[in-house]
Amino acid sequence: MSLDKDTVRKIAFLARIRVPEDALEPLAGELSNILGWVEQLSEVDTDGVEPMTSVADLSWPRRQDVVNDGGDAHAVLANATEPEAAPGGEAKGGFFTVPKVVE
């Protein structure tokens, strides 16, 4: 499997990672190499094999469906990346802020 520059650009957008135009071509080469190398899995017959969903053969306990945490808005917002907030300050008005999303 070989990836071209346009495919890399598309994946990068899906992953929301800006990749400079001049890095797309080398990245396409690296990713193609990795994919070419993992391609060897196709030689193994896996018909009828269940995909693994858990490494441990245990039954995990389930917690009660009750509220067991919360009410810590201050702690939750303490690390908010809010450029306009005062240094060390809390996000504006107790909210996370993002660029305008509705015109």
Partner 1 sequence: MSELNKKTIAEAARGLEDGDFTSEELTRACLDAMEAARDINAFITETPDIALARAGESDARRAAGNATGPLDGIPIAVKDLFCTEGVLTTAGSHILDGFTPPYESTVTQNLRDAGAVMLGKTNLDEFAMGSANITSYYGPVKNPWTADSGDKQGKDLVPGGSSGGSAAAVAALIAPGALGTDTGGSIRQPASFTGIVGMKPTYGRCSRWGIVAFASSLDQAGPLTRTVEDAALLLGGMAGHDAKDSTSAPMDLPDFTAGLKDGIRGLKVGIPKEYTMDGMPAEIEALWAQGRDWLTGQGAQCVEVSLPHTQYALPTYYIVAPAEASSNLARYDGVRYGLRVPGDSLDDMYEATRGEGFGEEVRRRVLIGTYVLSAGYYDAYYIKAQKLRTLIARDFQNAFADVDVLLTPTAPSAAFVIGEKMDDPVAMYLNDIFTVPASLAGLPAISVPAGLDGDGLPLGLHLIAKPFDEATLFRAAFALEDAAGFDAKPGVGPGGGS
Site string for partner 1, 25-64 (x = CB under 8 A): --x--xx-xxx-xxxxxx-x-x--xxxxxxxxxx-xx-x-
Site string for partner 1, 57-86 (x = CB under 8 A): xx-xx-x--------x--xx-xxxxxx---
Q: Is 18 in the site for partner 1 (CB under 8 A)?
A: yes
Nearest distance from C-beta of residue 23 to partner 1, angstroms: 9
What residues contact residue 25 under an 8 Å CB cut-off, 6+ apart?
5
Nearest distance from C-beta of residue 100 to partner 1, angstroms: 8
- Would you state the structure tokens that stand for residue 86, as one six-digit string? 């005062």
Q: Is 15 in the site for partner 1 (CB under 8 A)?
A: yes
**HEC per residue, the chain:** CCCCHHHHHHHHHHCCCCCCHHHHHHHHHHHHHHHHHHHHHHHCCCCCCCCCCCCCCCCCCCCCCCCCCCCCHHHHHCCCCCCCCCCCCCCHHHCCCCCCCCC
Binding site for partner 1 (CB under 8 A): 3, 8, 11-20, 27, 30-31, 33-35, 37-42, 44, 46, 49-58, 60-61, 63, 72, 75-76, 78-83, 96, 98-101
